[in-house]
Structure 1
Amino acid sequence: MRKLLLTLFMLFNIIEVFSQTPITEANIKYNTQQYILFGKPKIFKVDKGGNRIGDHPMVFADLNMTFIIMNTFKHTGDTIYCQIKIDKYPKKNLAKRMLYNFYSTDLNKLNSNEVLKSTKDTLEKYSKEKEDVYYIIKLDDILKYGYIYNPFTHWEFNFGTITYLTRIRPAIDGQKSRWSNDLSLGIAAGTKYNFSNNFSISLLGGLSISKVSLDELSTKGVATQVVEKPALTPNINLIGSYKFFSLGIGLGWDIVNNDTVESKAWIYNGKPFMGLCFGINIFQPHEEDSKQVSAQDN
């Protein structure tokens, strides 16, 4: 179970990183653009003027830390450093950050309990600060671990049109399960979870109009030739999306009107099927709205 959770965490993190734009020296915008670190380079705390504060030790950067680059300068030799600003230290997920962050100096001299206690004390103190927090970090680490931050909402309402590419009919009344390519098109709505600006997963309930085929096998010999009938198809779908392209699996029920002998004999009427669904024009929120909500989340 732990390996599965770790694998999922790494997968989600890879998806999130993949959707971001890496930092290059050419695209750095000082004092305006917000960036994010995926990784844990070493940093140390300074004041607004860039002067190191007291005995604050060098630490690893906070988990997925967001920041603004203030300036760059040479500190020792030819090594170039950046002064970065964090707009208020994040207060959420303190326990998670406590396990992630630890001191990099004299680490071998401390046991695990001391590391966790000292890190917890430091994070709790930083989380209470009201002023902006400044750090120094190597420019090479910025370029290695840094990405342009594209904020987004995690949860939102989602809707769009949906169609089934193929269905798997269940085994019933002595008939084996079978594939079906009956056409359908409808609308679906529900909730969506965004892993990034581009990748998401949605749970949607929908209603479609389908054209189903009634043949000899599905009507127990009543239909002597293929008869096509319209059907009403309520459905539930789990869909993964990349930008405007959506693909997933669904559970649906084709319901036809019992107005002919063939439809009365159709063994799949109202029975569940599994389908491969394709989403079209899935709703996307306005970019500015996403940024505002994300800022509130942080």
Structure 2
Amino acid sequence: MSASLKVSNSSKSQVSEFILLGFPGIHRWQHWLSLPLALLYLSAIGANILILSTISQNPSLQQPMYLFLGILSVVDLGLATTIMPKILAIFWFDAKAISLPECFAQIYAIHCFLGMESGIFLCMAFDRYVAICHPLRYPSIVTNSLISKATLFMVFRNGLFVIPVPALAAQRNYCSRNEIEHCLCSNLGVTSLACDDRRVNSICQLVLAWLGMGSDFSLIILSYAFILRSVLRLNSAEAASKALSTCSSHLILIVFFYTSLVVVSVTHLAKIKATLVTVLLNVLHNIIPPSLNPIVYALRTRELRVGFQKVLCLGLQKK
């Protein structure tokens, strides 16, 4: 019997760790993929830290829209760091083994940060809705108090909401297979190795995803429907263009985030066999948004670009 198996009190073999094999079909040379993934991770860390530094050092950027962006950067740092160190350890040090508690903790962290990212997108959509549809009431509605309460609500909602996902996964009986054709612990990927019925896990994840991120997405769509209606009523083409410009970067990120999330979820729920494309998409879904968000906002927001230049110039002067 291998070292990764142990005998339980019920006389059944129970695995004590999982083996993350990485990308299916390219195990021998998959370490080359660590180079672009490491660059994405470093860009995500550097860009999000730059955003946080820029917002904190520029009083003019300490407005609701930028404060929400700063919170999004914190969430992105957490999401990227949840998966990338382990993935790079697999490629560089062949550290494929992961204990069951570590695996279930990663499942929890991934779902938690994805849910918080979805919630922050909703907060940002609400911010744009009030700013465009009710500009005169904006200062009295979107206050620092509202931002703090909304952030705390999103943290507690997702922190508590996703507990059943790893808890149910931990209740499954893993009695034989322990090799996962993946770089990270995904709920349905892990529970597919269980010897008992895992339908309750699939149903739980589907229900929680709809109640959490599904409701967020529905409210985001509703917010932008109201924004579009309000913009179309503007008599000034210049004002309409400016209003749409402030929302375009947000929409780009939302479309990518939810589209890739749906594709990843469907491939798992449909029990499609893991392939290089599906596993790579799952990994990129967790690392592309953290590295893409700062770039999109920097390109679309003049105030941020100016703030970046000030922070970078100040850093060079200190050296």
Largest Rg, 1 or 2: 1
- Greater share of residues in strand: 1
Category of TM-score, reference length = shorter chain: under 0.3
Provide the TM-score with structure 2 as the length reference: 0.19
Structure scoring higher RCO (CA < 8 A, sep ≥ 6) equals 2
- Greater share of residues in helix: 2
Provide the TM-score with structure 1 as the length reference: 0.20
